Each structure stands twice: as C-alpha cells, then as structure tokens.
Amino acid sequence: MPKQLRLSFLSLLIFLTASCCPEESPYSLNGNDVATITKISEFEYFQIQLTELAKVSNGAAFFIVKNYDWDHVSVLGELDVIANNHALSLPASPSADYKKILKTLPAPNAETFDEQYLIHAQMELHVLIGCLEDQQKVGADIIVKALALKLLSPIVCQLNAIDSVLTK
C-alpha cells in the first residue's frame, strides 16, 4: 500500500472511530495516553513555528522542511477529536521549553540558523520518537496508539534526513 494511502487510511480510521463511537470504545485514556497527546500537541505547535522559520532559510533547514515535513494542522485536528471525546484540554501552543528554543534560534537568514535548527530538531525528534514508542508499549487507547504509529514514519524519515545532513 503506498505511504500516502496508508496515512490517509489511518487518519480515516482515527477520525471515524474517535468521532462516531467514543462511548462504545472499550478503551479509556491512561496517564501515558494523556502525556503522549499532550507532548504531540506541544510538539506540533513547535514544529509549525519552526517550519515557518525554516521556510525563510535557503539552506539545509529549508531542504528538510520542503522534503520531509508532514501536515501538522491535520495532526492537531486528530488530537482535538481525541481530546474532545475524552473531555481533555490540550495545550494550544508550544511548551515553555519549546518557546525557549524558538527564542534562542538566530534569525533565519543568519549563517548559523541552519545548524542550530538541525541540532534542535534532531534532539526534539529523538524525544518525540521515544514518547511514541513508549505509547505503543504502555498506552491503553487504541486511537492514541494508531496516531502514534502514524506519526512515527514521517518523524523517523525527517530525523534520518537531519542526521545525514549533520554528519556530512
């Protein structure tokens, strides 16, 4: 099955299951589920702002964003469906740590921006991958597990691209 079709199918599964039958789901969110969707939400808002900065760059950061980015708004929509079905409130901005990173980055046209962008993106992607992998092991909600699984592939691709640029 092509990658794009597989991602669309998972999105449809998540949406239909979460929005049509939340009361019939035998699963409830455990602490890991809540931590995972909170982390994903904060990360997605961080990525949106980081992506906007990288689009101004003409170097490696722009290349990574252009070729290895994913639809953050769609992911946030899926998180909203999950949160609404479980009466959760999710953050609507990057975490304080992510905001600090955004403030410390040089201007996108600065010579050091690309290197700093890649280093911060690499570190944060490693943290998120760990969170998503943990979700597969200890999460209770099948919808959150499906979302975590869906996100792993594009995140690993982006991380591999960043790793290859940084090791040159």
Q: What domains appear along the chain, each with residue ranges and CATH number?
A: 29-166 (1.20.1260.10)
pLDDT on residue 15: 54
Ramachandran angles phi, psi of 28, nearest 5°? -125, 160
Which amino acid is present at 150? K
pLDDT on residue 14: 53
Instruction: Note whether 135 and 43 are within 8 A (CB).
Output: no
Average pLDDT over residues 10-36: 64
Q: How many CB atoms lie within 10 A of CB 101?
A: 20
Per-residue H/E/C for the chain: CCHHHHHHHHHHHHHHHHHHCHHHCCCCCCHHHHHHHHHHHHHHHHHHHHHHHHHHCCCHHHHHHHHHCCCHHHHHHHHHHHHHHCCCCCCCCCCHHHHHHHHHCCCCCCCCHHHHHHHHHHHHHHHHHHHHHHHHHHCCCHHHHHHHHHHHHHHHHHHHHHHHHHCC
Q: For the full predicted model, state whether its pTM sits above 0.85.
A: no
Q: Taking all residues of the chain, what is their mean pLDDT, rounded to a whole number?
A: 84
pLDDT on residue 138: 87
pLDDT on residue 1: 47
Evaluate if residue 2 carries a pLDDT over 50: no
Model confidence band, residue 124 (pLDDT cutoffs 50, 70, 90): very high
Evaluate if residue 23 carries a pLDDT over 70: no
Query: pLDDT, tens digit, for every residue of 77-119?
Result: 999 999 998 889 999 999 999 999 999 988 887 778 988 999 9
pLDDT on residue 89: 93
Query: pLDDT, tens digit, for every residue of 49-66?
Result: 988 888 888 788 988 988
Q: Is the dihedral of CA 45, 46, 47, 52 positive or negative?
A: positive
- The residue among 71, 81, 68 whose CA lies nearest residue 48 is 71
